[in-house]
Structure 1
């Protein structure tokens, strides 16, 4: 068994010919750039690119396969030297049982299987060339199609206020929309962690995933997990999600929920946190608030926190969240330690001090030890690391 760094939620901003894929993502997020950034700069071993249903992306992968630049593994997944790419698709479900749109992540083991899924989807959405499109089909029919293609089905960022399974505050049960037996795991999202989610009994049977939901190259790996498997392949990933044959998530690394965009209930206009019982923002007088993930989980909680069978959740602070770590400092760290995973996991404080100085080294070390202080985020504004510690 080996340990692998894994981030399964990375977007594409554009195709290699410049056509848009994820409208809100950076145009620099091409497939080539994602592979280079994830493998060579971040130090990831397995990634999920969740816009692979786009025909031009599939054509590019076919071309690379013929040229010998990628090898399709016998157990699924595409091998780019030291990186395995898992073919994924993010979709928006809003069927007759939904009270609001829900984003889900779908993973397919082979290029041919993703072609079949893409063709099937093209009859059920308006634009097959774009990411996160609304699918005009019943959610459980989609689940069944995914299983027919030997794929994996994972609800995305399940507590986010917008476009998630539990976010809007209306849905209380997975069974209102999905067949729970056809769900392979759940993605927690940037504003929650294992301790928070483990207070909800209907999630007891699911593996928790922590992924970046990267809309730019720099955000790749801001959340990830270390997985234990024999080799980085699709079938090994399936075993991990179902805790089979010793395969498992060893550790989840995610933002401290305070750093997420939606941790606190906050004013949608000025982002000030809502005080208990008020109907108007104390700062600007606005009357509309975005319910925070912490409040939503409190509403759903129905059991004491159960962490016995869960891997550790480490509050990982991405390097670009650290005060003083700008592009030049990041470049200096990469030039010295090669990848961000090396910086975050394997360097000593003394080694860091020699490269970036004692102040930044102390902040990075404090992030690893969980001793930093934070200003909580809300209503779409990220939290911040306090520079005082």
Structure 2
């Protein structure tokens, strides 16, 4: 068994012909650029690209296979250099059982299964070429289709105020919309972590994953996990999400929830932070609020009784992405990459002494503090990210 780094939620912004896939995604976020940056710059071993249902993306993957740049693995997944790609799709559900739209992630073992899903889904969405499209079927039907194709099903960023399972999708339980037996894991999202959600009892049986939801190349691996596997493949990932045969998620690496752009409840007009979600804004008088992730989690939590045990979880390490670190500009970043190869090496392998040989001591200490979770922050909310305090 070995430890591998995985980011399972990366978008495609544009096809190679320039057509939009994720409309809010960067134009540079093409399939070929994603796999290149994820492998060569970020140093990820396993990536989930969740817009592979788009027909032009499928064509680009097929071209890569024909050229020999990509190979299909016997245990599932697609190999590019040292990185395994898991083809997937993000879909929006809003059926009669939902209070609001819910985003979910579906992953497939082979390109053929992905193609079959794309063909099926084209009959239930208005535009199969785009990401995160609303599907006109109920949640349980979607789950059954994904499972019939050998896929994995994971509700996405489950606490964000918009388009998520608990944000607005259900009142109190995921069983209102989904079959719990057909859920493979829960994606926490940028504004929460393991400790925050430990008292939500219905999540006790699920493994948590933590992913970037990258809409640009630089945001790839801003959140990720370390997974213990025999080798990076779809089948091994499926076992890890079930804690089977020694495979497991052994650590989550993510933003401190205070940095998440939906962590705090705020006024929708002026973004003034509020302690409660039922009060008029004291700054501008607005009565419309955006309920923060922290508030929603409190509503769903049931404190542990004396003697009651909770599932033992892997550590959730509050790691600030390199892009967030004050003073770490493009020139310094390129020096670090030239010296140490990949961002995963910089974050996990390089010593403080080695950093100080490449960049000034103050910046080296910033980087070291960032990877240890020792920086302080201004809290985010209402769609505005928190930020690292420069005087930390």
Both proteins in one fold, TM over 0.5: yes
Which sits farther off after the overlay, 313-322 or 354-363? 354-363
Q: Secondary structure at the match of 1:195?
A: coil
Report deviation, 1:269. Answer: 2.5
Look up the match of 1:263.
263
Look up the match of 1:103.
103
Cα distance between partner residues in 2 of 1:46 and 1:18: 26
Give yes or no for contact 1:34–1:217 (8 Å, CA) kept in 2. Answer: yes
Look up the match of 2:250.
250
Look up the match of 1:131.
131
Look up the match of 1:319.
322
Look up the match of 1:36.
36
TM-score (norm 2): 0.96
Look up the match of 1:284.
284
Look up the match of 1:8.
8
Q: Note the residue ranges of structure 2 that are not aligned, 5 or more in a row.
A: none
Cα distance between partner residues in 2 of 1:341 and 1:50: 22
Give yes or no for contact 1:201–1:303 (8 Å, CA) kept in 2. Answer: no
Cα distance between partner residues in 1 of 2:355 and 2:271: 35
Change (3 A) 1:306 1:384: farther
Matches within 5 A, 1:329-368: 329-368=332-371
Q: Secondary structure at the match of 2:129?
A: coil
Matches within 5 A, 1:140-219: 140-168=140-168, 171-219=171-219
Q: Secondary structure at the match of 1:168?
A: helix
Give yes or no for contact 1:198–1:306 (8 Å, CA) kept in 2. Answer: no
Which sits farther off after the overlay, 337-346 or 220-229? 337-346
Task: Write the deviation string for residues 94-135 of structure 1: whole angstroms up to 9, x where unpaired.
Answer: 111111100000001111111110000000000000000000
Report deviation, 1:362. Answer: 1.5
Which sits farther off after the overlay, 275-284 or 143-152? 275-284
Q: Secondary structure at the match of 1:314?
A: strand
Give yes or no for contact 1:159–1:296 (8 Å, CA) kept in 2. Answer: yes
Report deviation, 1:265. Answer: 0.5
What count of residue pairs does the alignment treat as equivalent? 389
Look up the match of 1:94.
94
Task: Write the deviation string for residues 172-220 of structure 1: whole angstroms up to 9, x where unpaired.
Answer: 1011000000000010000000011221000001000000000000000
Q: Secondary structure at the match of 1:166?
A: helix
Give yes or no for contact 1:91–1:131 (8 Å, CA) kept in 2. Answer: yes
Report deviation, 1:368. Answer: 2.5
Change (3 A) 1:168 1:306: farther
- Structure 1 runs (4+) deviating above 6 angstroms are none
Report deviation, 1:307. Answer: 5.9
Q: Secondary structure at the match of 2:18?
A: coil
Change (3 A) 1:70 1:99: same
Cα distance between partner residues in 2 of 1:269 and 1:337: 45
Look up the match of 2:385.
382
TM-score (norm 1): 0.97
Q: Does 1:65 align with 2:68?
A: no
Look up the match of 1:310.
313
Which sits farther off after the overlay, 148-157 or 336-345? 336-345
Change (3 A) 1:270 1:218: same
Give yes or no for contact 2:13–2:20 (8 Å, CA) kept in 1. Answer: yes
Q: Secondary structure at the match of 1:74?
A: coil
Matches within 5 A, 1:220-239: 220-239=220-239
Cα distance between partner residues in 2 of 1:169 and 1:113: 28
Task: Write the deviation string for residues 278-310 of structure 1: whole angstroms up to 9, x where unpaired.
Answer: 733233333221111111000000143966521
Change (3 A) 1:210 1:256: same
Cα distance between partner residues in 1 of 2:140 and 2:295: 29
Report deviation, 1:318. Answer: 0.2
Look up the match of 2:374.
371
Cα distance between partner residues in 2 of 1:259 and 1:283: 23
Q: Does 1:296 align with 2:299?
A: no
Report deviation, 1:150. Answer: 0.5
